[in-house]
Copies of this chain bind each other. A is one copy, B any other.
Amino acid sequence: MTDHAAEGGFCCADHSGTANAQAILAQAEGQARARGVRLTPVRKRTLEILLQAHGALGAYDVLQRLGAEGYGTQPPVAYRALNFLVEHGLAHRIRRLNAFTACAHPGEEHRAAFLICEGCDSVTEAPARGVSDALALAADAVGFHLERATIEAVGLCAGCKGARA
């Protein structure tokens, strides 16, 4: 289901295994220590895999990569690692894509919206304070106690919008 973006093609966003990924990884390590949870090898590797990926990765994509590196080859291996990352704010689940992506700003405010590009399958994490506040307001208006929210937008990223010359 995935991947013209995950192959090797170019892509709109500027993520990839750059210095930024290193910083995020370091941040994740510190955060795990602070919380008293363990960023074990599989979990760390899973996070790295997400960080290196363009767009978002399906659990089975992650699983395949993990398996190829000597980790378990069965679905729970991937799901457990991914769920761990999500629970601790190190990754996000993109429900529309049945996929996961590394959190771009671990440790910070976690009200994020995701901008999913239909052109290149990239997923951008955008700060969503305003959106979240508006949602809280709407929920409050009907007496609903909001715990967490999923905000996902579909459209065209700046790059792909331009490419529609």
Contacts and interface: CB of A to CB of B under 8 A. Distances in A.
Interface size class of A (residues with CB under 8 A): 35 or more
The CB with the most chain B CB atoms within 10 A, among A137, A141, A152, is that of A152
Interface of A: 95-96, 113, 115, 117-118, 124, 126-128, 130-131, 133-135, 137-139, 141-158, 161
Contacts of A153: 135, 139, 144, 146-150
A135 B142 contact: no
Contact of A150 (B95, B144, B147): B95
Contacts of A96: 95, 150
The quantity of this chain's copies bound in the complex is 2
A98 to B, nearest CB: 9
Contacts of A130: 134, 137-138
B152 A150 contact: yes
Contacts of A127: 138
B135 A131 contact: yes
A151 B151 contact: yes
B150 A155 contact: no
A143 B161 contact: yes
A128 B138 contact: yes
Given A95-B95, A127-B138, A138-B113, A154 B145 contact: no
A40 B142 CA distance: 35
A98 B137 CA distance: 26
Contacts of A128: 134-135, 138
